Amino acid sequence: MCGRFALTDTPDAVQSLLAVTDFEPFPPRYNIAPTQPVLMALSGPARPAGSNLPSRQSMLVRWGLIPAWAKNPDDFSLLFNARSETAAEKASFRTAMRHRRALVPANGFYEWRRVGSKRAEPYWIRPRDGGLIAFAGLMESWSEPGGTEIDTGAILTTEANEDLRGIHHRMPVVIKPEDFDRWLDCLNQEPRHVADLLKPAEPGFFEAVPVSDRVNKVANAGPDLQERVEPREVKDTDQKPGDDSGQLDLF
């Protein structure tokens, strides 16, 4: 799965990777959690011939997809991930998979290796060569009964590759830059046409760095979260990921 990630590169680097220019500058974010705002890039509106405007647009969305048909979001679990193998068929993700596929810029993500029932070791999982990557995402807009519209999103996951399988059995789908256009082209590319992109990263692409369990608490959001530590014993009383209420809720 992918329940925490980081975007620490500069806005210029994000613009260069995603070819989008329509977002405000932002600070490094070392501990992005569900319900917080995340940056996504989607296919933009049709441009007239000869236009030099970018073909993609950026959106700031709430991480945790709410289906457009949902009457009450409280009736749903927080849909911050979508299984890529079934997203095209699931009612919650089917429309977004067909019409609103997205890219989510990131420098890596966090995952927890479970040992027994009460031990968890966090890892910072980053590209071995560094730099920015883009996760496969889905975007959906949901309207409150009062008419207020909220843009929401999820990150697609797939089976973990052999490097990460010992930490967790799922990982986010990474879309390569050469596949950005095809992934985002919802007008001409149906989900079945891009199914080949929904696969684990190649072995050796990521490296897993053991880090402090301070990452478990969303309020901790500094660069020290990504510093390597020696794996340690986790006590029964240690806080587990998700045990805090410090997340920024857009509702």
- Check 24, 85, 111, 121 and give the catalytic one: 111
To the question of pTM greater than 0.75 for the whole model, the response is yes
Which residues lie below 8 Å from residue 113, measured CB to CB, with a gap of 6+?
120, 121, 123, 166, 167, 168
Read off the pLDDT of residues 140-175 as tens digits, 9 standing for 90 and up: 999 988 888 999 999 999 999 999 999 999 999 999
| Number of Cβ atoms within 10 Å of the Cβ of 81 | 20
Token pair, residue 225, equals 């979260």
- Check 2, 121, 140, 186 and give the catalytic one: 2
Token pair, residue 36, equals 């917080």
Banded model confidence at residue 48, pLDDT cuts 50, 70, 90? low
Torsions phi, psi for 45 (to 5 deg): -65, 160
**Cα-only R_g, the chain:** 18
Active site residue 111: yes
What single-letter DSSP state applies at residue 234?
A: P
Dihedral (CA of 191, 93, 96, 12) sign: negative
Of 55, 66, 140, 58, nearest to 99 by C-alpha is: 140
Place of tokens 């959106």: 59
The residue with greater pLDDT, 233 or 109, is: 109
Can you say whether residue 131 is alpha, beta or left, with left for phi > 0 and alpha for psi between -120 and 50 degrees? left
Looking at residue 144, its pLDDT comes to: 84
Average pLDDT for 86-103? 97
**Count of alpha carbons within 13 Å of 34, Cβ hemisphere only?**
19
- Please state whether beta strands 149-159 and 56-63 pair in parallel, antiparallel, or not at all (unpaired): parallel
Banded model confidence at residue 246, pLDDT cuts 50, 70, 90? very low
- For residue 228, count CB atoms less than 10 angstroms from its CB and return exposed for 0-12, middle for 13-18, buried for 19 or more: exposed
DSSP string, 14-39: HHHHHT---S-----EEEE-TTSEEE
Contact (CB, 8 A) for 112 and 241: yes
In the chain, % of residues over pLDDT 90: 76
